[in-house]
Amino acid sequence: MSNVRVAAFSLSLDGFGAGPNQNIDNPLGIRGTELHQWFFPTKAFSSMHGGPEGESTSIDNGFAERSFENVGAWILGRNMFGPIRGPWNDDSWKGWWGDSPPYHVPVFVLTHHARATLTMDGGTTFYFVTDGIESALTKAREAAGGKDVRIGGGVSTIRQYLSAGHIDEMHLAFSPVLLGEGESLFHGINASELGFTVSSVVSGERATHVTLAR
C-alpha cells in the first residue's frame, strides 16, 4: 500500500504553517511567504514555475526535489486551491498556478460545494470531493496506483489527516522565522501519541529539515 505523506511543508520556528488573514492578496496569510524563503531559490521551484535555473546542488533543493518523487496523487484543502468561499459561482477560478499546475497527477480538493472535474495542461486533473477526508483518501489511493499520496495542505487539512491517523511520514522545513500568530500545525495534537518519532534532522542553507515517521 502506498504511503500517505507530507513533504516540504514549511513551518515557522513557533509552529505556524501559514500567517493570519489569508486572502487573494495574501494566499499564505500575512508574512506567510517568509516561511518559504528556503524554497524559492531552488531549482525545484524554478522548474515548477518556469523561472531562472535556481540552485541545483543545495541541501534545500535536494529536499524539495525528493518531495515530488513517487507521488501518484495529491490531496489539497480548498484554501490551497483558491481564495473563493462558499458555493462556486462559476468555473472561472482554476487555481493559483495558471494553465499548467505543478502537480502533473490527479489532485483531490476537499470542499463542501460540488464542482465539475477540472482538467489542466501537463497531466493535472482536479477532482472536487464533497464527502470528507476518508473519501478523498480512498480516491487518491486508487488514482495513485501504488505510489504515494501527498497531503499538500493547508494546515487544517494536514491536521485532519494527522488526527485521523492516516499520515505515515512528514518532512517539515523549519524556517528561521517567528510569526507569532497564524495557523498552528500541532496545537492540541500529540504527535508522539500518534506514533511519530524524529527520523532525521538536516540543516539546509535556509531551513532545518525535520522528518517525522511512524
What's this model's pTM, rounded to 2 decimal places? 0.95
d(CA 134, CA 105): 19
Share of the chain above pLDDT 90, in %: 84
**pLDDT, tens digit (0-9, with 9 covering 90-100), for 3-47:** 999 999 999 999 999 999 888 888 899 999 999 999 999 999 998
Give the architecture (CATH level 2) of 4-83+99-213.
Answer: 3-Layer(aba) Sandwich (3.40)
Q: Which three cell numbers stand for residue 49?
A: 514555475
Binning the chain into helix, strand and coil, the percentages to the nearest 5 are: 20, 30, 50
Cα 142 to the center of its chain, rounded Å: 19
d(CA 38, CA 50): 18
Q: List the beta bridge partners of residue 11.
A: 174
**pLDDT, tens digit (0-9, with 9 covering 90-100), for 150-209:** 999 999 999 999 999 999 999 999 999 999 999 999 999 999 999 999 999 999 999 999
Q: Where are the chain's structural domains? A: 4-83+99-213
Q: Which three cell numbers stand for residue 197?
A: 518519532
